[in-house]
Amino acid sequence: MADSGSRRFSLITAEGGVGAMERPREPEPGQGDVLTLQRRAFESSTEADERALFQDTMAEYCWTRDVAGLSAKTLDALVQPVVEVCSFYGVVPWRLTSRQVDKYFSGAGKPGRHATMRSKMNRIDSYFAFLEQRYAGEILRCFGAAIQSPVDSFNRPEHRGDFGLRIPSSVRATKEFFASWRDALPSARKYPVAVRNYVMSKLTYISRVRAAELCSVRMGDVHWESGQWGRFLVFGKGANGSGPREREAYLFAEGRALLWWYVEEIRGEFRDDAADPHAPLFPSERIPKSIAR
């Protein structure tokens, strides 16, 4: 009886009515106006407005990353996955769901390599972080959509160690390798070409430059007078995705002696003009047809 009486008492208010607790709560002062404004903005928005804002956010995202120092090629790669998946479904990013992203990248948009998949998903996630930071309030107010990245803890790719474990050779083993290589040079079938390959390989070890960067070094890029042992200019990959740029590489004592011997003794045996400052430092054994004519 006490329980039934307490339940009856909970339904009786000071006005003496039954079921008064079922009445809707009155909004606090000021809340009604905010809800009305948001509802009006949401009801007046159109699909064209959403697409226009999507384009504006993409442009601003590229501007912010451009200010951060990224190259134009890197900027295109940043937004490409977002445009790709949105174009496939014909929606704006804040209408994407995790299920749609899963279906696309496991089917029509599945890349051939896991590293490519991881890169695309990370770029999509970064764009949504930008949206949440700068446009979450505007998108919710105008379109009634909450910003939430479709890349969640379930479909986020993990780094599987694509490159494996690589243990570098010891200094002694590296010196023995280059010594045996140099001893075998006189018996090479194409001596100038063999020496060119040897010098390029050893310069990558001494100066810590990439082999692809050495391919574009010209005769005039070597500055023997710079520093204590001389330097040379290379054009290659910049740091943190900032794009290719020119930088100086050091020759050191061993590299200077090696490169001086190559220029003095070997470089002139190739068929192009070694005195031309624009000629490649490490040329091909074949002259292009446009020059040979």
Confidence at residue 290, expressed as pLDDT on a 0 to 100 scale: 58
For the segment 215-238, the average pLDDT, to the nearest whole number, is 90
83 close to 95: Cβ distance less than 8 angstroms: no
The DSSP letter of residue 271 is: S
Given the DSSP bridges, would you call strands 245-250 and 231-236 parallel, antiparallel or unpaired? antiparallel
pLDDT band at 225 (very low <50, low <70, confident <90, very high): very high
Confidence at residue 291, expressed as pLDDT on a 0 to 100 scale: 56
Q: Burial-class residue 224 by CB neighbours within 10 Å (0-12, 13-18, 19+).
A: middle
Specify the pTM.
0.50
Confidence at residue 251, expressed as pLDDT on a 0 to 100 scale: 94
The DSSP letter of residue 23 is: S
Name, in order, each residue with C-beta under 8 angstroms of 282's C-beta and a sequence gap of 6 or more: 196, 199, 200, 214, 215, 217
Which of 6-20, 36-50, 77-91 has the largest mean confidence? 77-91
* Higher per-residue pLDDT: 76 or 3: 76
Residue 170, SS3 per DSSP: coil
The Cα 225–Cα 231 span in angstroms is: 8
Amino acid at 15: E
**Structure tokens, 276:** 């031309």
The Cα 226–Cα 245 span in angstroms is: 20
pLDDT band at 26 (very low <50, low <70, confident <90, very high): low
